[in-house]
Amino acid sequence: MNSQEKLKNTYRPVSERLRDFKEVERPLSATEIDNQAQRCQDCGIPFCHGAGCPLCNVIPEMNAAVAAGKWRLAWDILSSTNQFPEFTSRICPALCEASCTRGINGSPVMIRQLEKAVVETAFNNGWVTPVSPRRNSGCNVAVVGSGPAGLAVADELSRCGHAVIVYEKNAAPGGLLRYGIPDFKLEKNIIDRRLDLMKQSGIKFECATEVGQDIKIDYLRNRFDAVIIAAGAPAPRNLDIPGRELNGIHFALDFLGGQNRFNAGEISELLINAKNKKVMIIGGGDTGSDCIGTALRQGAKATVQVEIMPQPPECRSESTPWPDWPYQLKTSSSHLEGTTRLWSSLTKSFEGADGNVKRVQLAKVEWEFSAEGKPLKFREALDTEQYIEADLVLVALGFTTDKSRVEGEIPGFYICGDAATGQSLVVKAMDHARKIAQMVDKNLSNNGKKNEIL
């Protein structure tokens, strides 16, 4: 391999990975890892850790340590800024790579894979250990929700010496990590490995417990010095068009979560199964891509992904110059496994028979672009309607936040992650959670009692 290139093949063979739900990425060789680390060493002014990474990971120094074979130093650098690099190195879209200086005139350094190599080396060598709190503050904190933000805020506050209990409505902690991200991107033993360390650090988890149902807000208000709402953005965006009431139309997260629960043994039968079905996924983002990979593993006859946006260019658009996140075509491992992608397509109606969806009406849209090539607005193109057969439709249009759950500005209550900011990336949820944890700790240290609201 030319050391000046980014690897193009980082996945297990399609024929192999479609037979299981194990991680699609293959382990990189020592030579491949070293070559990528070496590519970072002649960087003039790095932008990856500042303009790129929301967590401000110290990427050049970490890569320099890997290039020098100093893996323990690389771990110490990485863990100084990133609480859960085993998660981010698997599911983060790598904003850092978009702002890598190598990417100006070529391909960026494979920073995410280097991070993954560092964290797995650390776990394999026993360097990742429970964290002993710096002090015992005497304050009790409740965290509602155990997704990325909930885990991050709980970990940070525990390190500060506060007694933390995390409430989770599902059977096991992890939130979106466990019930939204497919196993082929994040195997759940990776989550459990981290949870064991958090429990050893003193953090308690109460699962199958829904705040507002199983326990009341008044209970939290009276028992805890601070309560952090980290319930994510769980409300899926609907598609309110004719035929939406037909059977066989489901939200993407219900489909993905069902497969994860089945894999974990929480349920014995898939309630939404793509086997021998023609599957349409409405929505062109990562969640839609995850539905493709899951449907193919279940044995779907065919999959088609429908997106109203136009097809992005193969190379970075002039509308998003370096070091911005590029407007550019992104092809996931699931896309490579076999699917049809329809762009500039408006979903108009669902049609069915005997109460079940059978086909979907689409129409093409025409986009107006800026001078730099950024899509601005669209209109439906006349006489472009078409019908596509589908007996399973998955709606993957993103999520919204229901802030009414915490309206009223209850003293001592805080909101963090997607519950506060709306749907975003795991790294951004973790970053926001860490900032909220610092605010909570400061207020508890100053007051020792219920504190000001966020």
CATH number at residue 256: 3.50.50.60
Q: Could you tell me the sign of the dihedral formed by the alpha carbons of 134, 138, 139, 140, in that order?
A: positive
224 and 298 share a domain? Answer: no
- Residue 145 structural domain: 140-228+406-447
Query: How many domains does the structure of the chain reveal?
Result: 3
**Mean pLDDT per 10-residue interval, the chain, length 454 residues:** 72 97 96 96 89 92 98 98 97 95 92 98 98 89 98 97 97 97 98 98 97 94 96 91 98 98 97 98 97 98 98 92 93 97 98 98 96 92 97 94 55 93 94 97 77 39
Q: What is the pTM of this model?
A: 0.94
Q: Which residues pair with 229 in a beta bridge?
A: 144, 415
75 and 100 share a domain? Answer: yes
- pLDDT tens digits for 191-240? 999 999 999 999 999 999 999 999 999 999 999 999 999 999 878 999 99
H-state helical runs in 201-285: 217-223, 252-264
415 and 395 share a domain? Answer: no
CA 437 to chain centre: 21
Domain assignment of residue 79, yes or no: yes
Domain assignment of residue 9, yes or no: no
Q: DSSP letter string over 248-308?
A: TEEEHHHHHHHHHHHHHTS-SS-SS--TT-EEEEE--SHHHHHHHHHHHHHT-SEEEEE-S
Domain assignment of residue 428, yes or no: yes
In the numeric block, the tokens 């044995």 are attached to: 299
366 and 437 share a domain? Answer: no
